[in-house]
Homo-oligomer: A and B are copies of this chain.
Amino acid sequence: MRLFGDGGIGATSLREVARDTGVSPALIVHHFGGKDGLVAAVDEAAIRAFGEAYRDVEDQPPAELLRRRAEQTATVMRERPDVCAYLGRAMVEVTPGAARLFGLMVSSGREEIERLIEAGAIRADADRVWATLQHFFLVWAPLSFRPLLEGDVGGPLLEGRNLDRWVDANVELLRGGLYR
């Protein structure tokens, strides 16, 4: 997961993984059936690790729910940067598991938005599809653009106190916009 996340999935060879793990390439094939199998296993592990952060989040007031979601992602970033780096890559390399996860997040996000609109917590004239995607992008783009962020913005934008600032910025943007 760490190697795939750092170097990209397609660009990381089985031999690299084997060398890093201290086993032979043949063993990886033996266990996982090939590189695709390995990717599928890593997908599953990453999705499980990420999904665990999203337990018991129901029944919160809308604004708090939003903050909770962002905070949970920030927590995963802090505690399992490898998982986040991997999922960010997997999303843009369109791993089967990542596509599944995306489908899940979009459809459940969509349902939640519908619910929030009905409850009057979100503007009724909001575009349901794009509102869902905006939520997704604001949370996930930092993961997928991480190499770019760290390479050019410079600082460790996705660590420490900066993550709190990121959560705050997202919550404030979604609550009240940026312009006045």
Contact = CB atoms under 8 A, between A and B. Distances in A.
B92 A92 contact: yes
A119 to B, nearest CB: 11
**Which range contains the number of A residues in contact with the other chain?**
35 or more
A176 B85 CA distance: 32
Given A94-B148, A106-B153, A168-B127, A176 B173 contact: no
A175 interface: yes
Contact of A141 (B129, B137, B170): B137
A38 interface: no
B179 A147 contact: no
A103 B154 CA distance: 10
Contacts of A179: 62-63, 66, 116, 121-123, 174-175
Give the interface SS of chain A, mostly helix, strand, loop or mixed: helix
Q: Which of A66, A116, A134, A170 has the most CB of B within 10 A?
A: A134
Contacts of A152: 99, 102-103, 106
Interface string A76-115: 0000000000000001111000110011001000000000
A169 interface: yes
B147 A145 contact: no
Interface of A: 8, 10-11, 62-63, 66, 91-94, 98-99, 102-103, 106, 116, 120-123, 126-127, 129-131, 133-134, 137-138, 140-142, 144-145, 147-149, 151-153, 157, 165-166, 168-170, 172-180
Given A99-B151, A129-B157, 10 more contacts: A92-B147, A121-B180, A122-B180, A123-B180, A127-B169, A130-B170, A134-B170, A134-B173, A137-B141, A175-B177
